[in-house]
Amino acid sequence: MSVMTPPGVKNSGDYIEDVMSVVKAKNAAEPEFHQAVQEVFDSLRLVLQKHPEYRSSKILERITEPERVIMFRVPWFDDQGNIQINRGFRIEMNSAIGPYKGGLRFHPSVNLGILKFLAFEQVFKNSLTTLPMGGGKGGSDFDPKGKSDNEVMRFCQSFMTELSRHIGPDTDVPAGDIGVGGREIGFLFGQYKRLRNEFTGVLTGKGLSWGGSLIRPEATGYGCVYFAEEMLKSRKDSFAGKLCLVSGSGNVSQYTVEKLLDLGAKPLTFSDSDGVIYDPDGIDREKLAWVMELKNVRRGRIREYGEKFKKAIFMPTDIKLEHNPLWNIKADCAFPSATQNEIRGKDAANLINNGCKLVAEGANMPCTLEATKMFLEAKVLYGPAKAANAGGVATSGLEMAQNSARLSWTREEVDDRLHKIMIAIHKNCFETAEKYGTPGNLVNGANIGGFLKVANAMLDQGLV
Ligand code: NDP
């Protein structure tokens, strides 16, 4: 309790801890959701002192409670004619500044808590993009790995049969995420159109000939590198000659590597859940094209890279280790682009000890709270996910704008808008961090910048 706080009134620190305890009690067994909320709340201490109205209107209590959670059965037939049952979800978290917007994840690890953490993050991320989009997230514990195209199609059709009741171009507009790429969006869109008999921009990440936007596949990776370039510029530095570590080998990782090559950096790694490849010669455009074919067409495993390119080393994942060998390779910059909590305390220590200058999060919440704290304390340039990877959803917003206007912009036009949005997000985070007394802390900048717009809209709209 601060000496400035009147008797009987808790200070904002105690208030935040009280709300956090309630969030944990009400959402038991959802550790990822607690982690995402804790990180935002830690940044909001400074805001609540200046703005008592957020507290009296219970904005923290309201913003952590999803507006709607939909959970449903997804039955489908596999190729052998067996019945399979998965669980489907859509979390409609917050619509204060626009229709719910956020990806669908198909991965066996998907559960309610993981999707709530992603939906919560999405609210602030979408606010930062400057576009009118609320936050949502969804998906299923379905594992597309090893399934035939027909099985994926039957699953997607069953999933959309239920989801179609809840979404719409002005209500909720899903997109892709882990395990949901162009193929899955195609099957989902086809089924929605068939059920509703309408051709609308109900999903983003669509194919180019049926309402998609140029640059959407590239947008998260490109945007993350544009954001990181601004971070480097703030220290009068650039990507020329920088050694870069990239994890994952999916959509975000591939286009991160492509943009790093455009800017003169030298990417060294890719990974998947089986292990890591380290190519000391660097991943050039030819090798990147090979990886894209491996992952997007043949749907193979990254270990094959080590067989194809002899100087590359493959290190299998060892779940017994407390660290990932990928983050112990000497490099200047790190782009975690696979999944949540993939950089733990030991990994952060390895990166810092090896002289890493920049971490930009392509994946959502890839660093544990401990790792984040270590980067901030070591003054590593640290770009949090809700800012650094916002280029994906920003370009989804541009796809929605093109769909509403029934026209298509050129590649250059979309890329230019994406680039400007990433520069604006960095500026907002950088200036907000400074304004609230923590210069250079882009975590605070992103959390506070994202929060203010949504919180003010919630105040304007009354108790809904
Ligand atoms: P993809 O499915 O295209 O690729 C995911 C990659 O990460 C694969 O290489 C996958 O390996 C690996 N991976 C996934 N889960 C795990 C795990 N539990 N352990 C180890 N490796 C894993 O997904 P995206 O590239 O689209 O997404 C990657 C990250 O970026 C996610 O955190 C996502 O939320 C985030 N993101 C994506 C956006 C987008 O536009 N696509 C937008 C903003 C954020 P394997 O094949 O072995 O599973």
- Atom of ligand 1 lying closest to residue 252 CA: 25
| Nearest CA, atom 29, ligand 1 | 363
Single residue among 34, 63, 92 that ends a domain in this structure = 63
Is the residue at 20 inside a domain? yes
* Confidence at residue 178, expressed as pLDDT on a 0 to 100 scale: 96
Q: Residues with Cβ < 8 Å from 28, sequence gap 6 or more?
A: none
User: ∠ CA(142), CA(146), CA(147), 5° rounding?
Assistant: 60
Q: Among residues 345, 373, 388, which one ends one of the domains?
A: 388
CB of 247 closer than 6 A to ligand 1? no
211 lines ligand 1 (CB under 6 A): no
State in Å: Cα 3 to ligand 1 middle.
48
* 133 and 264 part of one domain: no
Can you tell me the distance from the alpha carbon of 133 to that of 99, in angstroms, rounded to the nearest whole number? Answer: 5
Say if residue 158 is in the same domain as residue 93.
yes
Residue 12: the pLDDT is: 67
Whether 383 and 237 map to the same domain: the answer is yes
> Is residue 336, in this structure, part of any structural domain at all?
yes
- Identify the active-site residue in 101, 125, 137, 386: 137
Pick the atom of ligand 1 nearest to 180's CA. 2
For residues 113 and 38, membership in a common domain is answered with no
Q: What's the gap in Å between 253 CA and the centre of ligand 1?
A: 8
Total number of domains constituting the chain: 3
For residue 163, give both structure tokens: 């989801």
Residue 380, helix vs strand vs coil: coil
DSSP letters for 81-128: S-EEEEEEEEEEEE-SSSSEEEEEEE-TT--HHHHHHHHHHHHHHHHH
- Protein residue closest via CA to atom 23 of ligand 1: 178
| Alpha carbon of 249 to ligand 1 centroid (Å) | 8
Q: Is residue 461 part of a domain?
A: no
pLDDT of residue 66: 98
Residues 6+ apart with CB under 8 A from 65: none
Does residue 363 have its Cβ closer than 6 Å to ligand 1?
A: yes
346 with 328, same domain? yes
Residue-number span of the structural domain to which 336 is assigned: 219-388
Q: Whose CA is nearest to atom 27 of ligand 1?
A: 178
Same domain as 324, residue 235: yes
Decide if 2 is inside a domain: no
- Asked if 26 is an active-site residue, the reply is no
Last residue of a domain, one of 145, 168, 199: 199
Q: Is 217 in the pocket of ligand 1 (CB under 6 A)?
A: no
Using a 6 Å cutoff on CB, does residue 291 contact ligand 1?
no
Specify if 334 maps to a domain: yes
Shared-domain flag, residues 46 and 103: no
Determine if ligand 1 sits within 6 Å of the CB of residue 389: yes
- Distance (angstroms) between ligand 1 centre and the Cα of 178 equals 4
Q: Which of 104, 134, 136 is nearest to 119 (CA)?
A: 136
Residue 129 near ligand 1, beta carbon < 6 Å:
no
Q: Looking at the structure, do residues 224 and 327 belong to the same domain, yes or no?
A: yes
Q: Is 269 in the pocket of ligand 1 (CB under 6 A)?
A: no
In a domain, 213, yes or no: no
> Would you state the pLDDT for residue 319?
85
Say which CATH number the domain at 150 has: 3.40.50.10860
- The answer on 372 and 230 residing in a single domain is yes
Do 195 and 101 fall into the same domain? yes
Say how many Å lie between the CA of residue 13 and the centre of ligand 1.
Answer: 35
Which atom of ligand 1 approaches the CA of 396 most closely?
40
The answer, yes or no, to whether any atom of ligand 1 lies below 6 A from the CB of 337, is: yes
Return the pLDDT at 46: 85
Q: Are residues 339 and 373 in the same domain?
A: yes
How far does residue 396's CA lie from ligand 1's centre (Å)?
Answer: 17
Residue 258's Cβ-side half-sphere holds a number of Cα atoms within 13 Å equal to 20
Q: Which of 178, 226, 295, 343 to mutate to test the pocket of ligand 1 (most atoms within 8 A of CB)?
A: 178
Is 186 a member of any domain?
yes
pLDDT of residue 299: 93
- Cα–Cα nearest to 156, from 186, 129, 176: 186
Supply the DSSP symbol for 460.
H
261 CB within 6 A, ligand 1: no
**Spacing, Cα 52 to ligand 1 middle (Å):** 39
What's residue 312's pLDDT?
A: 98
Ligand 1 pocket check for 364: Cβ under 6 Å:
yes
pLDDT string in tens for the chain (464-residue length): 344 444 444 566 689 999 999 999 999 999 999 999 999 999 999 899 899 999 999 999 999 999 999 999 999 999 999 999 999 999 999 999 999 999 999 999 999 999 999 999 999 999 999 999 999 999 999 999 999 999 999 999 999 999 999 999 999 999 999 999 999 999 999 999 999 999 999 999 999 999 999 999 999 999 999 999 999 999 999 999 999 999 999 999 999 999 999 999 999 999 999 999 999 999 999 999 999 999 999 999 999 999 999 999 999 999 889 999 999 999 999 999 999 999 999 999 999 999 999 999 999 999 999 999 999 999 999 999 999 999 999 999 999 999 999 999 999 999 999 999 999 999 999 999 999 999 999 999 999 999 999 999 999 999 99
The CA distances from residue 274 to 105, 144, 247, 315, 372, in Å, are 19, 16, 12, 9, 25
Assigned domain for 393 exists: no
Q: Do 228 and 377 belong to one domain?
A: yes
List the residue whose alpha carbon is closest to atom 7 of ligand 1.
338
340 C-alpha to center of ligand 1: Å? 9
